[in-house]
Structures are given as structure tokens and as C-alpha cells.
Amino acid sequence: MPAYDFKCSVCSNEFRHFMSISEYKSFMLNDNTCISCNGTIVRVVNSVLSEVEKTKDQIIEEAKEYAVKTVKKIIAKDERTIRDIYGSTPNPHKK
């Protein structure tokens, strides 16, 4: 759920709310007063990027997709992919 930072334009009180986008829209339309002094609040937009965490299922799905792509490249005899996986040394067992 996104975090929204706010600051009061009167008392400079800063606070953070975690809410959905629809809750944010409703909040800004109906309840946009400071909890300390009832002054008007404004949203503070930070330039810091937040890290998005992936679920276990998303990581597994990405790994499967990567594996399928890699296998297709090996089947197509993509030399760079083969070299990246097996190294540049020739196979001593290959005649």
C-alpha cells in the first residue's frame, strides 16, 4: 500500500498515511486538515525512490521465464549464451 507524506501549511506538522489510491483521493477531498491545528495540509512529494518487493511467486515466475529463454537460446546454438553458461574452454569429451 502506498505511503503518502503530508505537511501542515500552518504548524508545519508532518505525518504519513498508508492508504490505497482511492482512499487517498477520498482523503484529499474530505479530510484534508491537520490533526494538530486543523490547518490545511499539503502533500509532500519526496524524490527518494522506494524499493518494491516481489512476492515469492513473482520471483519463481521470473526465474521460469528466464530459464525458458535460456534453453531456447541454447537450442538455437547461440554461442554467446552457451559460452556464458559453460565457459569458453572447449569440451574435452566432444569429438
pLDDT score recorded for residue 87: 82
Number of domains the chain is built from: 2
Q: Is 61 a member of any domain?
A: yes
Cβ–Cβ < 8 Å for 86, 70: no
> Apex CA 29: angle with CA 51 and CA 12, to 5°?
65
In tens, the pLDDT along 41-93 reads 888 887 665 566 788 899 899 999 999 999 999 999 998 888 888 887 666 66
Q: Is 27 a member of any domain?
A: yes
Q: Is the pTM of this model over 0.85?
A: no
Q: Is 95 a member of any domain?
A: no
Q: Is 81 exposed, middle or buried (0-12, 13-18, 19+ CB in 10 A)?
A: middle
* Structural domain for 68, as ranges: 56-86
